């Protein structure tokens, strides 16, 4: 193992850059004793070099797989009924079964959505990017469309924005917008800057309001559009990638080379015109009686 000092890089950073997992996940593995370096159980803060042998759960990580992978970023409109985990003991479907195979590394989810929550989920092969976007210090806005059983009094909505006590500390919404609705259900748009476990649902439950549907429609600068149907997965656009990197405090990517256009009269398909940008997703339209 490379001695601590200016040489080598921190173990969790090397593995995160290789797309093995997010830095937070890897730190949990190290604390649990699942990572070894040169036959010894790794410790947080260990540094490694190219010649060090790294094993995770006893499996050797080949040196080639430790090289930084080309960054990939996906935008996925998760349906209800899928869970954000790799292996489920109960055999339920996971989001990773619906994703294309990455070109290198593996997909790391930026945050989680519970099994009953649908909507925007960002995934990347860049563990460092995922870790930065999930870190509480970033205070990144998350926007949700929420369907609540019955209407909620204005005083109660004010209370949700002022803050209520949850089991793991106080919490609040940054804003609440009334989206309307008739009959038994009412839609609201809520924004908050945390990603605690089931926080949106627990906030409403704290004021005796029952959530019947929950969908995340935006994470920071990335929002679902009218083209992102349920279950649809796509590559993040260049603008979305740039905005996420800036938000995470990472350097911008080198601009892609423009595609070469064919000369008039040459064979092959003509260059297609760029399509108009899709309208941002503003949440579901309330239906009469819904």
Helix (H) or strand (E) holding 145: strand 142-149
Q: Tell me the pairing of strands 47-48 and 142-149.
A: unpaired
Residue entry with tokens 């970033």: 138
- pLDDT score, position 32: 94
Consecutive H or E run containing 121: strand 118-124
Report whether 76 contacts 94 (CB < 8 A).
no
pLDDT of residue 281: 45
In the chain, the domains with their CATH numbers are 9-66 (3.10.290.10), 73-136+226-248 (3.30.2350.10), 141-219 (3.30.2350.10)
DSSP for 190-238, please give it: EEES---TTHHHHHHHHTT--EEEEEEEEETTEE-BTT--TT-EEEPPH
User: Distance between CA 25 and CA 20 in Å, rounded?
Assistant: 9
Name the H helices within 43-164: 127-134, 154-162
Cβ neighbors of 5 (< 8 A, separation 6 or more) are 47
Whether 114 is catalytic? yes
- How high is the pLDDT of residue 161? 97
Q: In the chain, which stretches have pLDDT less than 70?
A: 1-6, 64-65, 68, 256-290
- DSSP state, residue 137: G
- Catalytic residue, chosen from 52, 88, 114, 167, is 114
The pTM is what? 0.72
Q: What are phi and psi of 29, to 5 degrees?
A: -65, -40
Read off the pLDDT of residues 201-254 as tens digits, 9 standing for 90 and up: 999 999 999 999 999 999 999 999 999 999 999 999 999 999 999 999 999 987
For 84, half-sphere exposure in the C-beta direction (CA atoms, 13 angstrom radius) is 22
What pLDDT does residue 5 have? 46
């Amino acid at each position: 193992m490379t001695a601590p000092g200016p040489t080598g890089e921190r173990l969790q950073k090397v593995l995160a850059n290789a797309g093995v997992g997010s830095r937070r996940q890897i730190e949990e593995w190290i604390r649990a004793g699942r990572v070894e370096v040169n036959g010894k159980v790794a410790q947080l803060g260990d540094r490694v070099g190219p010649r060090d042998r790294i094993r995770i759960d006893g499996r050797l990580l080949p040196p080639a797989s430790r090289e930084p992978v080309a960054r990939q970023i996906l935008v996925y409109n998760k349906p209800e009924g899928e869970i954000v985990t790799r292996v489920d003991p109960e055999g339920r479907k996971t989001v990773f079964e619906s994703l294309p195979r990455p070109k290198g590394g593996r997909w790391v989810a930026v945050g989680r959505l519970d099994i009953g929550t649908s909507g925007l989920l960002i995934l990347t092969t860049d563990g460092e990017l995922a870790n930065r976007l999930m870190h509480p210090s970033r205070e990144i806005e998350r926007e949700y469309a929420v369907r609540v059983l019955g209407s909620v009094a204005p005083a109660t909505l004010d209370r949700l924005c002022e803050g209520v006590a949850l089991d793991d500390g106080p919490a609040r919404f940054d804003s609440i917008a009334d989206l309307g609705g008739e009959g038994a259900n009412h839609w609201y748009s809520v924004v908050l800057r945390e990603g605690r476990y089931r926080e949106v649902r627990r906030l409403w439950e704290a004021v005796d309001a029952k959530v019947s549907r929950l969908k995340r429609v935006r994470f920071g600068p990335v929002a679902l559009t009218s083209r992102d149907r349920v279950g649809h997965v796509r590559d993040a656009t260049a603008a979305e990638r740039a905005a996420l990197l800036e938000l995470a405090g990472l350097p911008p990517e080198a601009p892609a080379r423009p595609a070469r256009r064919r000369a008039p009269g040459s064979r092959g398909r003509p260059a297609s015109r760029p399509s108009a940008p899709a309208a941002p997703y503003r949440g579901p339209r309330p239906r009469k009686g819904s």
